Amino acid sequence: MSATLPFLSLSQRTLALGLCLLVGVGLVWYVLGGPAPSTNEATRAVVIRPQTGAFDIARRLKEARVIRSRVAFLAVAVARGTQRRLLAGEYEFVPGLNLLEVVRRLEQGKGFVHQVTIPEGFSARQIAEALQGKGLVDQDRFMSLLRDRQLLTQYRVDGESLEGYLFPDTYRLTKGLGEEAIIGLMVQRFTEVFGPAERARAIELKMSVAQVVTMASLIEREAKADEERPLISAVFHNRLRLGMPLQSDPTVLYSLSRFSGKLTKTNLRARSPYNTYLHRGLPPGPIASPGRASVKAALYPASSRYLYFVSKNNGTHAFSNTLREHGAMVRRYQIGRAG
């Protein structure tokens, strides 16, 4: 005796198929496209470090409750062929984003951008502190990389450090970019400012790029008024030509690990290769990051015989040709004021 299964009519089969498709679509939407586990939660911030693989990205997103399924995330990324092209950065995910929107954001690198302004005259350590304060770098690693021989060779810097070559500007940075990449952005900006024309001018002056940048860093730390930069440059150039010590206070400050208050005679006797009161010529390297105006002043000093300058305590300086004139200016603006 044989039994046969009942056959559905065409309309019944169509209805059954439609219900199966509807359930299937609903499940796919729930797993792949549905919102994060709770739409009542706050915005989630997730930092993706450079060189992080798709599997670890999926894990981070799941832990942060941005997605509900790591397998689903990886499936979508693989299906789109972008599993190896998900970008590092700091991302903020609002509740309710579906999985496809999450993947697309990582593909496009639509992370949170930090706008950071590095002031002219900042030392490398001040730059590192500012960047660490925004959670963008590890200060110690940043400072260590500045002395990395491979990076110095890569950027064709003749010196012991990238101090002075981190160009002061406004940068748009993301967490996860990494210390090396941020250094690269700053040095690249320097090379844009210090281009072929500037290199040709340095050759005319019989100076290396490192010497020009070092001179520019001293001008940057001494000058407050832009119109005085070429005059301060002239003083330094004249002193170098005559074999006189530069006697620049900022070089002494740079050599001191800790300093507060006013420079003393003891400070001026501090044994350091950067102390331009004790050593003739330029210091071993830059003491800060000079801006465009100071670089230009170092390359194009004013036509002047000035050998001295002293602060007027109002952001400008009094310039002198002789030590006697300089002594009078010091008594007028410094000693007299102190009294």
Domain ranges of the chain: 33-108, 114-193, 212-306
What's the rounded mean pLDDT across residues 301-330?
95
Band (231; pLDDT cuts 50, 70, 90): very high
Best-predicted range by mean pLDDT (1-15, 20-34, 227-241): 227-241
In this predicted structure, the answer to whether residue 217 has a pLDDT above a threshold of 90 is yes
In this predicted structure, the answer to whether residue 24 has a pLDDT above a threshold of 90 is no
Average pLDDT, the chain: 86
Q: What is the pLDDT of residue 268?
A: 81
In contact, 48 and 89? CB cutoff 8 Å? yes
In this predicted structure, the answer to whether residue 124 has a pLDDT above a threshold of 60 is yes
Q: What is the pLDDT of residue 80?
A: 92
Tell me whether residue 99 is exposed, middle or buried, using C-beta atoms within 10 angstroms of its C-beta: 0 to 12, 13 to 18, 19 or more.
Answer: buried
What CATH topology corresponds to 33-108?
Answer: Dna Ligase; domain 1 (3.30.1490)
In contact, 289 and 118? CB cutoff 8 Å? yes
Which amino acid, one-letter code, is at 229?
A: R
* Measured distance CA(180)–CA(294) in Å, rounded: 26
For residues 10 and 39, which has the higher predicted lDDT (pLDDT)?
Answer: 10
Q: What is the pLDDT of residue 146?
A: 97
What's the rounded mean pLDDT across residues 272-280?
93
C-alpha atoms less than 13 angstroms from C-alpha of 310 in its C-beta half-sphere: 17
In this predicted structure, the answer to whether residue 222 has a pLDDT above a threshold of 70 is yes
What's the rounded mean pLDDT across residues 145-156?
96
Q: What is the pLDDT of residue 112?
A: 77
Band (290; pLDDT cuts 50, 70, 90): very high
In this predicted structure, the answer to whether residue 1 has a pLDDT above a threshold of 50 is no
Please report, for residues 21, 28, 66, 91, 324, the alpha-carbon distance to residue 100 in angstroms, rounded to integers and kept in the order given.
21, 12, 12, 15, 77
In contact, 50 and 177? CB cutoff 8 Å? yes
For residues 72 and 176, which has the higher predicted lDDT (pLDDT)?
Answer: 72
What's the rounded mean pLDDT across residues 195-216?
97
Q: What is the pLDDT of residue 43?
A: 80
Residue 170 β-bridge partners:
117
In this predicted structure, the answer to whether residue 212 has a pLDDT above a threshold of 60 is yes
